[in-house]
Amino acid sequence: MTKFLATLLATSAAVAVMSASAIAAEMPKKIGYVTNYATHEWYQNVIKGMQDRAQQLGIELEVRDANLDVNKQVSAAEDFMSRGVDVLIITPVNEEGVVPLVRRAKEEGLPLVLEGNPVKGMTTMVAICDYDTGYHAGVEAGKYAKGHLGGVAKVMNVGLPLLSATVLRSNGFMDGLKTEIPDATMVHDLDGGGNPDRALEISAAALAQNSDINIIYGINDSSSQGGLQAWKASGRSQDGLLVVGTGGEGLGFINMMNTEPSYQIEAAMFPEKVGFTAIDAAVKLFNDEEVPQHIVSPTTPMIGSDGWKQYYSVDGTTRTINWDAVNAVQPAEQCMKTAADL
Amino acid sequence: MSEITQPAKSGPVAGRLANNSQIVLLALLVVLCIGISLSAAQFYSVENVIAILRQCSLVLIVGAGMTMLLIAGEVDLSVGASLAFSGCVAMDVTNKTGSVFLGALAGILFGGLVGLFNGLVVTRLKVNSLIATIATMMILQGGVFLYTREAVQNKHQQPAFTDISTGYLGPIPLPVIIAAAVFACAYVALRYTTLGRYIYAVGANAKAARLSGRRPEQLKLLVFVVTGLLAGLTGLILASLMNTGQPTAGRGFELTVIAAVILGGTSLLGGRGTLLGTLLGVLILKVIDNGIIILRWDQNLQMIVPGVVIVLATYLDLVRRRADAR
């Protein structure tokens, strides 16, 4: 019996070692990532997710920031190419601006993964479904309105009409909301610029024009925050108000969910998971595996003041993702609507 | 500026209008208010008036400093970046010390230090203030992300901090009271003190001011510091209003301030301007901003209007100078 166990253990160990070396042999040694705006909380957490996954897989990851400058982005990507990275990941500053890079990477046989935005000629892109993200948050907002707001839904959308992604979120939110409350109306459709001070100023004027709303929807956390702060600055009570944010970009939404009674729903987009998935996609491309053109990164609404605790923990000024919970969120097979549907 | 420059007694219509700019601005403000009110009655609701005044207060506080700076012949383009950084400092220090007073003091002093830096670069290193303060803006916009990688959240949850922006003294919001106090102090200083006359003199002709025994560099340094302190104060109010220290706040704020100040008749070339004009300029810009929302017009107009105002006001300034030269 002892001899049998010893043989079994030795065989298992040998198989494990062989598997490990096989996996190691298939890993790219170095991945270069050119982000578009590393100072934004969203991208900081995308990078964090990439770093976590790269470390797990024993891959060296180098990150460069284009700082919203397409020329800088092209130059950083070309530098990575000339230094011979095994895979390149890019978050395009401008879809048109990186088309030559996509072409050159194909010519040189360099695997290229895009994050966030599609580019003509791309092999694959890792991104969330913006419409779906808004839609599912809208459904939950409708359920909340039925239970707590007397079945009435009058929305102030603190949006950003400049970007198709954020328009899709707003459209998805209203469509999802209407599945629960068909009479839901959008009272204000605002351009909050995606930043809190602008969102606050615009929302304050809109509320003065017509304050008969009971739901504030923000296309990102800054927008929902600006809308809510305008509501508070006008001296209104948060009773009978629902605030829905989008992104789950940093600590801001956690603070608001903890302290603001109306902030009940956050459409989490898990930036860390986007980074994690981008590294997995890079590995697949490196191994010549088939990948879909759009690899969907999952999103889900987080509900109630404790909703975020399932996915994140916070220690001081650092938040840590709960990978088991986030990896358990199933992504959509394909998006309900995309920019092409606008 | 009427205090030191006599208006032309005759000239083309544009020149005459330019010389009576405050009356023109007041008339424009009245017409705007009446026009918007006729189209949307909500415009003159108490809530909307308070919203407008609260927004005006932020621009007016920095505008008071910027008016003095422009009259002295200098400009500060770093005020937007400075107020964002100051707001982060104020929130962070309040979080760490638990003291709203210390947080507020730190935020305001940080703004003052930025002003001091600008002043030293301009007066000691003789760098043009336009270039120097653009450089400072870049330093601050990058530096704030070294200070904090993300928005500084309100961890202290002290009501006194949010009261700075949302509190009231009687029926009047506190930021409006603060702006009125700043405006009154700046108005008195500029209009009724030797210091004020000195600022006009330095802006009108620095060489002549120096020959008469004055030291323009010291004065300019002082005005830079005052503008910085006011940017810090505004950063504190904005952080209180947003309940976070936002590193990305205040982008483009400097242009709104400058647009309001030159719309009010202050010359970009120095030596001319009034705080009353700045007040009217701020009110007009913010009423237009508000009116665009109230009337549900395309919000892109909010970006276009300050740009058009800068061009028109600068042109009027040139017209006025030509009229003065006759």
What part of B 140-159 touches A (C-beta under 8 Å)?
Answer: 145, 149-151, 153-155, 157
Strand intervals (E) in chain B: 152-153, 168-169, 172-173, 244-245
**In Å, how far are B134, B139, B149, B151 from B143, measured between CA atoms?**
14, 6, 10, 14
Q: Is the pLDDT of residue A158 over 90?
A: yes
B271/chain A closest Cα distance in angstroms: 33
Which chain B residues contact residue A229 at CB under 8 A? 241-243
Confidence class for position A25, pLDDT limits 50, 70, 90: very low
Residues A51-82: tens digit of each pLDDT = 999 999 999 999 999 988 889 999 999 999 99
- Say what the pLDDT of residue A342 is: 81
Question: A17-31, A117-131, A136-150, B207-221: which range is least confident on average?
Answer: A17-31
Domains located in chain A, CATH noted = 28-128+272-297 (3.40.50.2300), 130-268+301-341 (3.40.50.2300)
B265's CB contacts (< 8 A; 6+ apart) are: B1, B21, B22, B25, B272, B273, B274, B277, B281, B313, B316, B317, B320
pLDDT band at B74 (very low <50, low <70, confident <90, very high): very high
- In one-letter notation, the amino acid at residue B183 is F
pLDDT in tens, A192-216: 988 888 899 899 989 988 889 999 9
- The confidence score (pLDDT) of residue A324 equals 93
In the prediction, which pLDDT does A11 show? 45
User: How far apart, in whole angstroms, are the C-alpha atoms of residue B103 and residue B22?
Assistant: 38
Under the banding of pLDDT at 50, 70 and 90, the label for residue B16 is low
Task: Give the residue-averaged pLDDT of B125-144.
Answer: 95
State the smallest CA–CA distance between residue A311 and chain B in angstroms. Answer: 20
Nearest CA-CA distance, residue B79 and chain A, Å: 15
Q: What is the mean pLDDT of chain A?
A: 89
Instruction: Using CA coordinates, name the residue in chain B closest to A67.
Output: B142
Mutate to test the interface with A, among B88, B91, B145, B248 (most CBs of A within 10 A): B248
Distance from the B52 Cα atom to the nearest Cα atom in chain A, whole angstroms:
8
- Look at residue A289 and tell me whether its pLDDT is greater than 80: yes
Q: What is the H or E stretch that residue B190 is in? A: helix B174-192
Task: Report the DSSP beta bridge partners of residue A189.
Answer: A157
Are B299 and A44 inside 8 Å of each other by CB?
no
**CB distance A208–B151 less than 8 Å?**
no
> How does pLDDT run across B250-261, given as a tens digit for each residue?
888 999 999 999
Dihedral sign (CA A170, A175, A179, A183): positive
Confidence at B12, pLDDT banded by 50, 70, 90: low
A residues 90-109 near B, CB within 8 Å? none
* Stretch among A129-138, A194-203, B115-124, B133-142 having the lowest mean pLDDT: A194-203
Q: Catalogue the E-assigned strands of A73-153.
A: 87-90, 112-115, 124-127
User: Which amino acid, one-letter code, is at B174?
Assistant: L
CA distances from B69 to B7, B77, B189, B311 (A): 22, 11, 13, 20
Q: What is the pLDDT of residue A60?
A: 96
With contacts defined as CB-CB under 8 Å, which chain B residues touch A252?
A: 150-151, 153, 244
Question: Which of the pair, A47 or A18, is modelled with greater confidence?
Answer: A47
Least confident of A130-139, B4-13, B201-210: B4-13
Which single residue is written with the structure tokens 């300034």? B317
In this prediction, residue A277 carries a pLDDT of 95
What burial letters (b/e) apply to A122-140, b meaning 16+ CB within 10 Å? bebbbbbbbbbbbbbbbbb
* B163 interface with A at CB cutoff 8 Å: no
Predicted confidence (pLDDT) at residue A107 exceeds the cutoff of 70: yes
| DSSP one-letter string for B60-103 | HHHHHHHHHHHHTT---TTHHHHHHHHHHHHHHHHHHH--HHHH
pLDDT of the residue at B215: 83
Q: Give me the pLDDT at residue B19, please.
A: 60
pLDDT digits (tens, 9 = 90+) for B286-314: 999 889 888 888 888 887 887 887 788 77
Kindly indicate the confidence band of residue B15, based on its pLDDT and cuts at 50, 70 and 90: low
More confident residue, B324 or B88: B88
- What are A31's strand-pairing partners? A61, A87
Instruction: Answer whether B242 sits within 8 Å of A225, measured CB to CB.
Output: yes
Average pLDDT over residues B98-117: 97
Whether the predicted pLDDT of B102 surpasses 70: yes
Task: Please tell me whether residue B114 adopts helix, strand or coil conformation.
Answer: helix
* Residue of chain A whose alpha carbon sits nearest to that of B41: A209
Q: Do A233 and B54 touch (CB under 8 A)?
A: yes
Q: Quick check: helix, strand or coil at residue B242?
A: helix
Q: Which residues of B touch A226 (CB under 8 A)?
A: 242
Which of these, B206, B62, B189, lies nearest to B123 by C-alpha position? B206
The whole-number pLDDT of residue B10 equals 42
Q: What band does B13 get if pLDDT is binned at 50, 70 and 90?
A: low
Q: What is the ipTM of this complex?
A: 0.76
